[in-house]
Amino acid sequence: MARNASTIEPAALDTVSTRELYRELLVRVGEDPNRDGLLRTPERMEKAMAFLTKGYSMDVTEVLHDALFDVDYDEMVIVKDIEFYSMCEHHMLPFFGKAHVAYVPNGKVIGLSKIPRLVDVFARRLQVQERLTRQIGDAITEAIHPQGVAVIMEAAHLCMMMRGVEKQESSTVTSAMLGVFKTQMQTRNEFLSLIRRQGSSL
pLDDT at 90 over 50: yes
CA distance linking residue 109 with residue 123, whole number of Å: 22
Active site residue 184: no
Any catalytic annotation for residue 91? Answer: yes
CATH of domain 10-52: 1.10.286
CATH number of 66-196, picked from 3.30.1600.10, 3.30.1130.10, 3.40.50.360, 3.30.930.10: 3.30.1130.10
Q: What is the pTM of this model?
A: 0.88
Catalytic one of 43, 89, 130, 142: 89
What's the CA gap between 150 and 173, in Å, rounded?
13
State the burial class of residue 149 (Cβ atoms within 10 Å of its Cβ: 0-12, 13-18, 19+): buried
pLDDT one-digit tens code per residue, 7-21: 666 656 666 799 999
Looking at the chain, the domain(s) classified CATH 1.10.286 span 10-52
Q: Is 129 a catalytic residue?
A: yes
pLDDT in tens, 20-60: 999 999 999 999 999 999 999 999 999 999 999 999 999 99
Buried b (16+ CB within 10 A) or exposed e, 107-131: eebbeeebbbbbbbbbbbbebebee
CA–CA separation, 32 and 51 (whole Å): 25
Q: Collect all residues with Cβ–Cβ distance below 8 Å to 153 and sequence separation of at least 6.
A: 84, 97, 98, 99, 100, 129, 132, 133, 173, 174, 175
Q: Is 159 a catalytic residue?
A: yes
Q: Is 172 helix (H, G, I), strand (E, B) or coil?
A: strand
Strand runs labelled E in the chain: 68-70, 77-88, 94-104, 108-110, 126-127, 148-157, 172-179
Pairing between strand 108-110 and 68-70? antiparallel
Phi, psi of 8 (to 5 degrees): -120, 125
68 bridge partner residues: 110
For the chain, the average pLDDT equals 91
Instruction: Say how far apart CA 5 and CA 32 lie, in whole Å.
Output: 10
Query: How many other C-beta atoms lie within 10 A of the C-beta of residue 193?
Result: 9
Q: Which residue would you say has higher pLDDT here, 198 or 64? A: 64
Q: Which of 20, 46, 159, 184 is an active site residue?
A: 159
Query: Which one is catalytic: 90, 130, 142, 145?
Result: 90
Residue of 24, 88, 127, 135 marked active site: 88
CATH 3.30.1130.10 segments of the chain: 66-196
Tens of pLDDT, residues 117-176:
999 999 999 999 999 999 999 999 999 999 999 999 999 999 888 877 767 778 999 999
* 54-82: pLDDT as tens digits: 999 999 999 998 999 999 999 999 999 99
Q: Give CA–CA dist 194/100, Å, rounded.
A: 10
Candidates 147, 154, 157, 190; catalytic one: 157
